[in-house]
A and B are shown apart, each in its own frame.
Chain A
Amino acid sequence: MPGDSSLVNGRRLQELVRDIVAEVLVISPEAVTPDAALVRDLGAESIDFMDLVFRLEEALETRIPYTRWQRFLETRLAGADLSIAITPEVVRAFAEEERAKT
């Protein structure tokens, strides 16, 4: 919708994140539900998270050092089991935070 703050180049941020996750993990976008655990349910590995950050950099047209993603996890998911806790919704929240910095 016009004026929707969650739009990135005309796409909703949630959809953008879904498509990026699907592309990086080589799975169908339909499998990427907002609460799916990226590691446990979708088979993500460490290097995949770096690719997620790279793709977000390109989509948001901003530089995102990988350490910012790690700091985000440390703040948002301190003490959590990351194999369960990182979901597309967490990635979306990170993308939202990064976009707000631009």
Chain B
Amino acid sequence: MRHCGEVIKDVWLGIAGTFVPRARVPARLRLKLDRVAADRALAEVEDASGRRAASAVTSRSHTCGVGAALLAPAGARVGVDLVTVERVGERHARAVLSDGEWMALSRYTELRPSLAWALKEAAAKAGGDPHRSFPGELQIEAGPDRLRVRRSGSNDGEFVAGWGTIGPFLYAWVYRSALSRADGGS
């Protein structure tokens, strides 16, 4: 599985690896396998973009033998998440989304839970550590043309967001440029 491209100007997304159902991989090898895939995804976006991770900002995600990497210019805030669509149920998504966020994604029907979860994870990565918290102030919004993540009650710049599917996976990303951070006074 391989996918690499510029999702918006100067922001590159790569996906690499081979889907392996989790039950087929010994537990102690899962993280290693996934990290190798994420490393490959990052190497591919480096090659495609002509930028090096060391002089950019990156976010990575991995599951079931496949990795995703997002790369953007230094100073930006980014987050990416990769899930298998079947892994995420409504109960998972509703546990971390507000009612308003859940409603905002109503048009996405079958993909709604996995999209909601992946967006929230990506936003949490951009704002910190999703293991520790899903920042309640980062609210997912669905505009007519694009998904956004906005920090409620703040003039802080908003994140733009996007998503897609590849094989059994759904990926979501969020991005805010260094410029919009400066404009937002963060």
Contact = CB atoms under 8 A, between A and B. Distances in A.
Interface residues of B, number: 25
**A-B pairs with lowest CB-CB distance, top 6:** A43-B30, A26-B23, A42-B27, A27-B27, A82-B131, A66-B95
B22 A43 contact: yes
A31 interface: yes
Main secondary structure of the interface of A (DSSP, over half): helix
A83 B25 CA distance: 18
Contacts of A54: 91
A8 interface: no
B28 interface: yes
Interface residues of A, number: 24
Interface of B: 22-23, 25, 27-31, 34, 63, 83, 87-88, 91-92, 95-96, 117, 121, 129-134
A43 B31 contact: yes
B173 to A, nearest CB: 16
Scoring B63, B91, B131, B133 by chain A CB atoms within 10 A of each residue's CB, the highest score goes to B131
B132 A73 contact: yes
